[in-house]
Structure formats: C-alpha cells, structure tokens
Amino acid sequence: MSKRRNSIRTIETGLSDHPAVTAWRTIQANGAEPARIAVLKDNQHSSVYRLDGIGRGGASLIAKRSTLGSLLTERAVYEKVLAKLPARNLRCYGFLEHEDAVSGWLFLEDAGSECYSADLAEHRALAAKWLGATHASSAELSEQCQLPGREPVYFWKLLVDGTNRLRNSLSNSALSPENREVVTAILSHLQVLADHWEKVEQHCERAPRTLVHGDLKSKNLRIRNFADGPVLFALDWEVAGWATPAVDLYFIDELELYLETVRQTWPHLSLDDLQVLRNCGRFFRLVASVYWAASGLEQDWLDRTMRHLTLYCSRLDGQIRAAGWRD
C-alpha cells in the first residue's frame, strides 16, 4: 500500500472567521463556507489548509499562505506554464496579496491524499513519464513566462555561500569535536566539487532548457486515480525555474522511461547523456541541501542540523568517488 497522510488536525467551528476563508471570500465574494478546515501545515512563515466542500461540486481547495516571492513564482508556474501543457495538471483558483506586500494567499485544486512512494515500481515509472512529459512540453514556453534561472551558476553561488557558512560555523563553541570533523569533511568535498565545476557546466551547456521543479521529493508528489488511469501531481513549485533537466533528474530512477517520453522533442539526447545530467543534478541537490542545512549551525542546539549534514557529507563523498574525482 502507498503511504498516505498522517492524522490531520481539523477545525469545525468559527470557520467564517478563519484567515483562509476570509482571504477566499475576498477573491470570491459569494464563496461558500467550508464544511471543515484541515490544517496541513501551520507555522510562522507559511500555512497550508484544505478547505473541504468549498470548491465546485463540493470539492476541496488548498489555501496556501507564504511569502509573496515564492507565491508569485508558484502562481506563474500554474497559470502561465502548467495550464498550457497537454497533460492534466492542478488548477490555480486565485491569488491574494496581503496589504503588507510581503505575503499572500494562493488557492489551488486539491491533489488528493495518496502520497508518492519510491518503493513502488508503478510510482517510479509514473514519475519518470510525468517528468519527461512536463520537461518536453514546457521547453518551448520559456520565452513566454519569466521564471528564475536555475542554471549551474545558481548552484555555484549556493556552493560558495554554503562554504562560507560552514567555515564561519567553526567558531561556534557548541560544535563538538565530532561535529567539527563532519563540517571539515564537507568543506573538503565542496572544494573538490569546486575544482571540477567547469566539467559540470560543460555537461549542462549541451542540454536543453525547460521548466524544472527544483525540489522533487516524495512529500511533494501526489497520485490521483482517474477513469483513464493514475495521474501524478507535483506540489510546491516555490523554487521552480528554467534550467537544464539535470536539476530534476536526480529524483528519477527509470531513466529509460524518461528518455522514451522526451525522445521526440529531444532526439539528440542519449541514455548516457541523461545519466551524466542526473549525476550533475545530484551534485546540485546536495549543494542546495548543504547550503540550507548550514544555516542551522549558528544555533546552540545542533543535533538535527548535524544529522542532516552527516548524511550530506556521506552522499557528497559517494558522488565525488562515483565521478572519479577522488581515489
């Protein structure tokens, strides 16, 4: 069985005064009151709610509160790219900017509750075909929609900034000797990658450009079953942009299925090309992961941060050895 969402807190009273409902009624003056509100995420920086029974035909809507910049990127992806693709994609039902011009709300079609599982062969195959179709069909839209660039230079900046964060963290007295060894090892791995970055750039220069999600992982994918078969939907397009497919290929195991899907659009690509791009994507993913995790090294409580960095350290070492850059 595929994994599903854990127990979710619901709100069943005072619904008309809830911020998500207030925002929705600002967009839809005659909007109905939801039957209930499911709290999918709620913290200082962002919130995600499911408004049950508020959509067309009693369907649920997803209300997402976040920073304005990330919401504008997501809105552009849904309205100016995904809406123009031939495949079935989630619909965007509205956007509201807060008066502070710092945050806002985005209202989306509910993708359902069935989560993606990498343990299921049918899910892995579905992801390969979905990503191939999305990449191939969105490539020609790059001039019609302004999205951030996610080229190698973007990840190079994360590598440089992440390296600086790690070096600065060595002055944190909360670091244990073991933690310092991990940080020092990551710095060594990042230096090896920096020394070979030109090769990464050269591989990506020969690849086409397309829409990339930028944060593919199991919790950002849902599966819904329709009469004509299951469909995969991707959530959280906050860091999406235009780039080489490498940015997303790290997530794909079934490269042959991906290649079959994009072959007509990009006939020059081979399986070897995709394997090289996937390796570049794995480096991009690790560089971004280290960058974000390293921000936690400024704190006194480092257990969670160091668990993540220890994992990234091991993966960086493995990727560098697989590339033949270290004996």
Which residue segment(s) compose the domain that 90 sits in? 9-109
Instruction: Identify which of 178, 169, 176 has the alpha carbon closest to the alpha carbon of residue 299.
Output: 169
Write out pLDDT tens, residues 210-241.
Answer: 999 999 999 999 999 999 999 999 999 999 99
Instruction: Identify which of 67, 80, 41, 62 has the alpha carbon closest to the alpha carbon of residue 241.
Output: 80
Write out pLDDT tens, residues 118-140.
Answer: 999 999 999 999 999 999 999 98
Same domain for 285 and 212: yes
Same domain for 126 and 101: no
CATH code for the domain of 298:
3.90.1200.10
| 95 in any annotated domain | yes
| 17 in any annotated domain | yes
| 160 in any annotated domain | no
Q: Final residue of a domain: which of 58, 80, 109? A: 109
Lookup result for tokens 């209300």: 63
Type and span of the H or E element at 312:
helix 303-322
| 1 in any annotated domain | no
Q: State residue 40 phi and psi, 5-degree precision.
A: -90, -30
pLDDT of residue 90: 94
pLDDT of residue 215: 96
Q: Confidence class of residue 173 from pLDDT cuts 50, 70 and 90?
A: very high
Q: How many helices (H) and strands (E) does the chain have?
A: 10, 10
Sort strands 210-212 and 241-243 into parallel, antiparallel or unpaired.
Answer: antiparallel
| 157 in any annotated domain | no
Contact yes or no for 212/248 (Cβ under 8 A): yes
pLDDT of residue 222: 96
| 327 in any annotated domain | no
pLDDT of residue 5: 47
The percent of residues in the chain predicted with pLDDT above 90, rounded, is 84
Write out pLDDT tens, residues 57-111.
Answer: 788 999 999 999 999 999 999 999 999 999 999 999 999 998 888 999 999 999 9
pLDDT of residue 6: 53
Same domain for 298 and 181: yes
